[in-house]
Each structure stands twice: as C-alpha cells, then as structure tokens.
Amino acid sequence: MKLTTDVKLLIGVGLFTAIVVVAAAFTIGNKPSKKDQEQKVLGESQMKILLRKDTHLAGASRTEVTVVEFGDFQCPACAVAYQVVNQIKKKYEGKVRFAFREFPLMAHKNGYSSALAAETAGGQGMFWEMHDMLYDNQKEWSDRNDAIDIFTSYAKKIGIDADKFKKDVEDKKYDAKIQNDLKDGNMLGVNATPTFFINGKKYSGVLAYDIFKSMIESELKKGK
C-alpha cells in the first residue's frame, strides 16, 4: 500500500521527535546535577574508606589529584565513562592518580561475575588489563550464559594462567574484596554507577570530557 505525502510527513516528524527525546534523555541523564556539582568533600572518616590497601591504583604515585570510581563492568554508562576516563588519563599522565572499586548492580546478569573476573585477574597482577578487556568487549559478554568462559578467553589473551583464573572465579576467591567495595560504596552514599570521587568530591553519572577536565584543572590549581 502506498503512503500518502501527509502520512509520510507524520511518520518523519514522529521519528525525528523520538530521536530528539532519546538524545535529550541521554544528555540529561549523564549531566551532573547541581547537587552533585556542589557536593562537599567527604569527611575525614569517609576519606579513610575511600581508598583501601587493596584498592587498584593507576597513574601517578604521588599527586595532588586522586580520582576514585565505583563502577560496574556491565553498566552501559560505565562503558561510556571508561572512554572519557581514558582520555583524561592520557591528558594528565603523571599528574593524576586513578582508582577503581567494584560496585556490581544486582540488575545486571553478569555484573558480579565480571567483577570477579577483574579481581581474579588482579590476583595475578593484571587487574587493569582485564578491566580494559571487559569494557572494550562489554557487548560480547553482557547477556551471555557462558560469560565465565569468555572471561577465561580474555585471561589467555592478557597472558595469565587461564586454568587458575577459571578455578578462582568459579570458587569466588575474591568475593570478600567485592563485598568490601560494595559495603564502602554504600557507606559513601553510592547508589548508581558510575560514581566518581575527585579528591573526595562525589559526582554521579557520566562526566563529559570538558567537565571532567575542568574539575581536574581546578584541583591541580589548588595544589600549587
């Protein structure tokens, strides 16, 4: 059946409106709220639990700026934030310290198992390599029933003992580490992923590169 010009026009307008609404929702959902932007620095007792002795660190060892992320490897917004953080890491190489803490969400099918994969790889000294593999290939494993087998293939690719890796994941060897991260996150008011703490200031959601950059610059200036 042929569509009339009027019907085609209505369909076109409808599609355009839907795209605008989705784009607006994504933008609004990832823009830090005014409350987040005015977040006060964590108190002394909270700062003590922000970083633990077993927290995974990358970047500068001595710096005026520390960025701590609570994330979920299956979270789509975290995958977007991962790209931004990579840009920030390159921009401020040697100037900023980065930390990652586990906060897998119950709603995500493989959120917990991917956290186990990262921590298990960390047990063999390759946390960040697995961290990157999980985010770079998120769409491959997110909804799979054989995610652990996929994670084991990643273990082989990054060069760790794959058999030991799979056994440790299946035995949930690093469950306590994940539970401690979740507990600390809850105590710090984390209720969504990703959540960032920049020198103790909390920001929820994906931070656009320019916003992230301005926050880093502001903290670096304070240290001068």
- Beta strands at 65-71 and 56-59: parallel, antiparallel or unpaired: unpaired
The overall average pLDDT reported for the chain is 87
Structure-model confidence comparison of residues 85 and 18, the more confident one? 85
The class (CATH top level) of 38-222 is alpha beta
CA distances from 40 to 36, 43, 52, 203, 205 (A): 9, 9, 21, 10, 17
pLDDT at 16 exceeding the cut of 90:
no
Determine contact, residues 206/30, Cβ cutoff 8 Å.
yes
Q: pLDDT (tens digit, 9 = 90+) per residue, 118-130?
A: 999 999 999 999 9
pLDDT beyond 50 at 66: yes
Domain locations along the chain: 1-30, 38-222
Percent over 90 (pLDDT), the chain: 77
Name the band, by pLDDT with cuts 50, 70 and 90, for residue 224.
low
Digit-coded pLDDT (tens) for 97-113 = 999 999 999 999 999 99
| Pair 72, 193: CB distance under 8 Å | yes
More confident residue, 12 or 117: 117
Strand 201-204 with 195-198, pairing: antiparallel
Least confident among 17-21, 38-42, 217-221: 17-21
The better pLDDT of the pair 15, 92 is held by 92
